[in-house]
Amino acid sequence: MATATRPERQAATTEQAWREVETASFAVVGYITPAGDARSSGVVYKTVGKRLYFAVAPESWKARHIAASKRVSVTVPVHRGGILALVVPIPPATISFHAAAIVHPAGSVRIGSLSKKLEALLPPERRDTAVLIELIPEGRFLTYGVGVSLTDMLKPELAEAVVPVAS
């Protein structure tokens, strides 16, 4: 039953959040530099099991700074709106979480042994030169607009949810 302060809603679930993360392919990864400065970068990723992977150049800021801290924050935008988004500016829903990061040196991972899905991230010509970064989500997913209608996205008390990363 709905109350005056908090109407009933379909809350996001762990399974629903994972389904959205597994379907998406772009995320913003935040990290701290060794000097303590906050940075963020967009990445194209693939999931294998409950882990995210992306490839970067070995001398990139992402490779160096993530290797130093071994911790990141991740925000995955979730497209909403379909045809309506062409007419009305509808912001994406989001799923945010913290993750432990493992930076695999260039050429150290046998892509086929992990998953065929990763071959698109690391084509043969880059396999020996690109760094593969593995993210292991931890704690909770903070979601906004996942599992709610577009109109409910306008109401933070309905659009926000916190669900565990592991079910």
User: Helix H segments across the chain?
Assistant: 14-23, 61-69, 84-87, 111-114, 156-159
| Residue 121 reports pLDDT greater than 60 | yes
What are the boundaries of each domain within the chain?
14-164
- Strand pairing partners for 102? 134
Tell me what the mean pLDDT of segment 118-128 comes to: 81
pLDDT of the residue at 140: 97
Q: Residue 10: what pLDDT?
A: 54
Convert the pLDDT of each residue in 64-109 to its tens digit. 999 999 999 999 999 887 777 778 777 889 999 999 999 999 888 7
**Max mean pLDDT range (17-31, 118-132, 140-154):** 17-31
Rounded Cα distance between 10 and 1, Å, is: 13
Given CATH 3.10.20.30, say whether it is the number of domain 14-164.
no
Average pLDDT over residues 1-9: 46
pLDDT score recorded for residue 77 = 97
Q: What pLDDT does 113 receive? A: 66
| Helix (H) or strand (E) run with residue 108 in it | none
Q: Are strands 51-56 and 26-32 parallel, antiparallel or unpaired?
A: unpaired
Tokens representing 100 are 């432990």
111 — pLDDT class (breaks 50, 70, 90): confident
For residue 49, the SS3 value is: coil
Select the more confidently predicted residue: 8 or 20. Answer: 20
Q: How much is the pTM?
A: 0.87
pLDDT interval class at 2 (50, 70, 90): very low
